[in-house]
Amino acid sequence: MRHILFLTVLAALSFSFPALAADDGHGHGEAGHEESSPVEENHEEAEHEEHGDAHEDHGEEDGRGGEEGGHEGHDEEEESGAVDLSPESLKEAGILVEPLTLQNLEGEIKAPGEVKLNSYLSSKVTPRIEAQIVARHAKLGDTVEKGQKLVTLSGVEMAEAIGELQVAHKEWRRVQQLGSSAVSAKRYSEAKIADEQARAKVMAYGMTKQQVKVLHEKGLGITPGSFQLVAPQGGTIVSDDFIEGELIEPGRVLFNIVNESSLWVESRLSPEKAKDVEVGVGARVHIPDNGWLQGKVVQKHHMLDEETRTIGVRIEVDNEEDRLHPGMYVDTRIQAGDEQKYLAVPTSSVLRSPDGDWVVFVEEKPGEFKPQEIKTLRSVEDHTVIEGLPEGTRVVTEGAFFVQSELAKSGFAVHNH
């Protein structure tokens, strides 16, 4: 009986254990936890690898700067990845844009320099007779045009000369009206010559042809002997040392007018270094806190300065942006020798993009800047030699970090290539 009972209990337990295993809360049974098979794991790994490859492919497409087959959304971002800055912002931030030029940084001669007026684009306004200043029509700092009225003068000599001109011109017109058939040849010639001499005299004293014409048409005017000195060229008035009512002598400089679109920088070199510099070679001028300007050597002095024992080298610099002014002291770099030239930009203008590429900011149009990937080759002092942009490309050389910050504020990543 006991034997039969034991067998009955054993049979009951054999049917109960699988159910208990399936119902326990640990999830180790088939119903509680379906373990992944090796095939399923490989399939999941393959999907993960494909997904990773897709990310890599997408990164490669990003690196091609919007080549065909790239991500459309990314292309649209690249199309818009530029920043517009107003002229006021450019000025306040000190943004400078300059064209890329071939340079020879390793063969340069360093020397201090002083900015001077370009004498070939300058002129002095002086009276030719003793006169009194009646009125001023221009002042220091004014930009004037050729022929513009500057000052009104009045002088005894001019009054006498104008009177002689009026008489001579009246006689000449009378003779002309009578005709050569009614007067003798001698009188005809004398009247003509007298008129020409009287006109030449007043012009030698400072009147212009236009003023003589007005004089014949309108007469002497309110102030006999008065006349105006006009600007002999267009430019900026850089000096005007006189006051109204002052009596001035012939040759007294009343105005200095200079065209500051082009200025000279005088650099002083030792005789040994000056031997390596030829007229026509390129040069660079560094303005403190205002970047670099390109120029070229136009003249070299032949005489040694007695005090400094140096030779002067004259560099002509384009100053259309009005960054140079006479009297400023600058640093110069003058090319010497025949070393190879290459494209270089100030090192501070080369920045890292978020994806780690080197970029500079290129001016697409005035006020609009876009990052452009470049390759850096090496550094030479405060400049970096680059590849990836053609000569003449307008690049931000000062204030690139500000431009990058403004681009980041607009929501675009700096990763254009």
Q: What percent of the chain has pLDDT over 70?
A: 77
**Cα R_g (the chain), whole angstroms:** 42
Whole-number pLDDT of residue 374: 94
Average pLDDT over the chain, rounded to an integer:
80
pLDDT band at residue 337 under the 50/70/90 scheme: low
* pTM, to two decimals: 0.55
The residues pairing with 215 across neighbouring beta strands, listed in sequence order, are none
Q: What domains lie within the chain, and their CATH numbers?
A: 43-80 (no CATH), 84-99+342-409 (2.40.420.20), 105-118+259-335 (2.40.30.170), 126-254 (no CATH)
Give residue 291's pLDDT: 82
Q: Which helix (H) or strand (E) holds 287?
A: strand 282-287
pLDDT band at 306 (very low <50, low <70, confident <90, very high): confident
Question: Is 240's pLDDT higher than 50?
Answer: yes
| Residue 290 φ then ψ, to 5° | -145, 15
CB 400 within 8 A of CB 291: no
Statement: residue 204 has pLDDT above 90: yes
pLDDT-based confidence at residue 220 (cuts at 50, 70, 90): low
Distance CA(94)–CA(370), nearest Å, equals 17
Is the Cβ–Cβ distance between 335 and 108 less than 8 Å? yes
The pLDDT score that the predictor gives to residue 272 is: 87
More confident position, 108 or 148: 148
For the chain, percent of residues with pLDDT exceeding 90: 48
Tokens of 292: 């670099």
Q: For residue 335, name the pLDDT band (cuts at 50, 70, 90).
A: confident
Residue 221 has pLDDT above 80, yes or no: no
Would you give the DSSP letter of residue 125?
E
Question: What's the pLDDT score for residue 402?
Answer: 92
Q: Quote the pLDDT of residue 381.
A: 75
- At 197, the pLDDT band (50, 70, 90 cuts) reads very high
Of 7-21, 98-112, 233-247, give the range with the top mean pLDDT. 233-247
Q: Tell me the CA distances in angstroms from 123 to 216, 231, 236, 239, 256, one per residue in order.
A: 29, 9, 10, 11, 6
Q: Please state which of the ranges 122-126, 358-362, 407-411 shows the lowest mean pLDDT.
A: 407-411
Assign 363 to helix, strand or coil.
strand
Rounded Cα–Cα distance for residues 25 and 17 (Å) = 14
More confident residue, 134 or 409: 134
Given a cut of 80, whether residue 278 has pLDDT beyond it is yes
